[in-house]
């Protein structure tokens, strides 16, 4: 079945450091891929998405490229800020899973000033 695997956290970085959060997936079809972010005390909100191979999603300085050959959708940011501290979730939606979102376990990011 479909699944999403994320790197375990927490990930602790200093302000202005480069960020990568790894996400790989298993899917039988051609899924859409998402990154959601959960700030402390809040619900999840969509950060970015990509709907087909080689698409790049971007928002708020974050980027992720849909790599079908490596079944990956790694999240990157060139210079993180304290305000980026949150939990980041990778997810996929696929016709074979009846369009239900399949979630990774989440990666907690801590940015120190």
Partner 1 sequence: NAGVTQTPKFQVLKTGQSMTLQCAQDMNHEYMSWYRQDPGMGLRLIHYSVGAGITDQGEVPNGYNVSRSTTEDFPLRLLSAAPSQTSVYFCASSYDRTLNTEAFFGQGTRLTVV
Whole-number Å distance between alpha carbons of 21 and 8: 9
Q: Residue 57 or residue 77: which is nearer to partner 1 going by CB?
A: 57
Whole-number Å distance between alpha carbons of 109 and 26: 24
Compute how many residues bind partner 1; rule: CB under 8 A: 24
> Which 24-83 residues touch partner 1, going by CB under 8 A?
31-32, 36, 41-46, 49, 51
Structural contact between residues 75 and 23, judged by C-beta atoms closer than 8 angstroms: yes
Among 74, 80, 93, 111, binds partner 1 (CB under 8 A): 93
Neighbouring C-beta atoms of residue 70, cutoff 10 Å: 8
Chain contacts with partner 1 (rule: CB under 8 A): 4, 31-32, 36, 41-46, 49, 51, 89, 93-95, 98-101, 103-106
């Amino acid at each position: 079945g479909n699944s999403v695997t994320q790197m375990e956290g927490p990930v602790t970085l200093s302000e202005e450091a480069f960020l990568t959060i790894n996400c790989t997936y298993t899917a039988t079809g051609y899924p859409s891929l998402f990154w959601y972010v959960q700030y402390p005390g809040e619900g999840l909100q969509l950060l970015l998405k990509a709907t087909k191979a080689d698409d790049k999603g971007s928002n708020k300085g974050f980027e992720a490229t849909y790599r079908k050959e490596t079944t990956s959708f790694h999240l990157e940011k060139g210079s993180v800020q304290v305000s980026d501290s949150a939990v980041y979730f990778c997810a996929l939606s696929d016709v074979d899973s009846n369009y239900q979102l399949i979630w990774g376990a989440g990666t907690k990011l801590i940015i120190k000033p």
